[in-house]
Chains A and B, each alone.
Chain A
Amino acid sequence: MRGKVAIITGGTAGIGRATAELMVERGAKVVITGRDMARAKNIQPMVDAGAAIFIQQDTTVEATWSTVIAATLESFGRIDILVNNAGRIIVKPLDQLSHEDMKIMVAANLDSTFLGMRSVWPHMVAQGGGAIINVSALMGERTVGIGLAYSAAKGAQQALSKTAALEGAANNIRVNSVLPGLIWSDGWQRMAGPEPDKTKANLGPTIPIKRVGEPGEIARAIAFLASDEARYITGIELAIDGGKSAT
């Protein structure tokens, strides 16, 4: 990925951070954005090595995107890859879900993806192409009886991705979604209770492959889809879930 420049939202932890580290390892320059300034220390080694910059960003706010684009072009001169990874999840039953909750889910999972794609689009068109990977979720395709606002927003995000794939094809912009199953990300670890290792072990048997996934396993698929090896792949929804979607 030498010579490639990637923007990765939500890149200070979990899947986003693993993706950034992998792309840097393969020679790319990355722009990592995140809401929480304190978490930027997680990626400091990449910044110190000159392979990454960090920009504080709330991806749901349109104005932040022009800052991200300007900083990317100033630091690295081009934009080849966008990974819309930032997202949020709220799980509440319908009768406890406020309209505000619904708006947060749509903003964090759908608006942010829309804004990201629209912001990089003219630059990718001018450059002759690019690759966009939107991190969705299995729950966007398979409803599981909980988290309806999240499922709905992720489902809409997938429809957005596929339509953008069709629009982008003529300009050599590929747009794909990855659908992680149960990945042992920072988010899950925070929700895992007092004995996270036990929770992790208990979750394993619910997945056909008999273990939960690691952020790096999603990162490797994202990196493949972002690479020229995947130049004929666009508009797909790739389940990376240890077989869960087959159940």
Chain B
Amino acid sequence: MTQRLTHKVALVTGGAGGLGQAICARLAAEGARVVVADIDHTKAQQVAANIGSGAMAVALDVTLENSWRDGLLAVTAKWGGLDILVNNAGYLKPATIEDATLHDWQTTQRINGDGVFLGCKFGVAAMKAKGGVILNLSSTMGLRGTAKHPAYSASKAAVRLLTQSVAKHCGEQGYKIRVVAILPGAVETDMLRQNIPKGMTEEAYFKQVRAHHPIGRLGQPSDIANAVAFLASDQASFITGSDFIVDGGSSV
């Protein structure tokens, strides 16, 4: 396949995580220069090194304004600007409304909510002059609440509507920035493994989750990376403000 993102600069938050790594590798394969942004700088450097000279690592805590400012300065200094932002960093701790503490709730909203808010804010500022694409990782849990994940579901619903608001604002202002929410179902990553209930084996848990996916398998990071590559490219030139679901039919 021809490369769709040559000369583009893409930043991926949570770029050193399971999903983030796959997205970074895929964007690089499409010809983009990739910024692996992660709170774990060492791991981000490893991921960037694996990709090669077309990648750089930045330390980024998505919940801190200063961290965004510094991270984007480093990107601009090296590559002159930003064209694609993937707000992928996220936090999941399963806990029902009875078990979740206020701290659990606030941590979830801070990383999933504040993190994407700041990403959009800094992303729009960085891209408004010449245009770009912002992709926000929401979740099918942001469509329907689950008993075990009230904080996560609420935070991911917030991401969807934030996406719509930012998409509309960019339209109103005449910025050539598209903003799309990507809604994965259960993807086989470390985050999903952290979700395994106590006393249950990974195999039993995955089997249970698989049963909710009509397509008969869990999502793979590459499934989501495929969607990111498409939406980040000009192939998706009329798609903005939309929910883009990649979930093997689980939310039907």
Contact = CB atoms under 8 A, between A and B. Distances in A.
A240 B178 CA distance: 12
B180 to A, nearest CB: 10
Interface string A211-247: 0011001101100100001111111101111111111
A170 interface: yes
Interface of B: 164, 167-168, 170-172, 174, 178, 214-216, 219-220, 223, 226-227, 229-230, 235-249, 251-252
Given A220-B235, A235-B214, A243 B168 contact: yes
5 contacts: A207-B171, A209-B240, A217-B238, A220-B235, A238-B239
A208 B238 contact: no
Contacts, number: 110
A162 interface: yes
B245 A240 contact: no
A235 B220 CA distance: 18
A131 to B, nearest CB: 12
A234 B248 contact: yes
Nearest to A219: B235
Mostly, the A contact residues are mixed
Given A221-B239, A233-B245, A235-B249, 12 more contacts: A169-B214, A169-B248, A230-B226, A231-B223, A232-B220, A232-B246, A232-B247, A238-B244, A239-B243, A240-B242, A241-B239, A245-B241
Contact of B242 (A169, A233, A246): A246
Contacts of B164: 243, 246
Mostly, the B contact residues are mixed
Interface in A26-53: none
B241 A234 contact: no
B201 to A, nearest CB: 24
A235 B238 contact: no
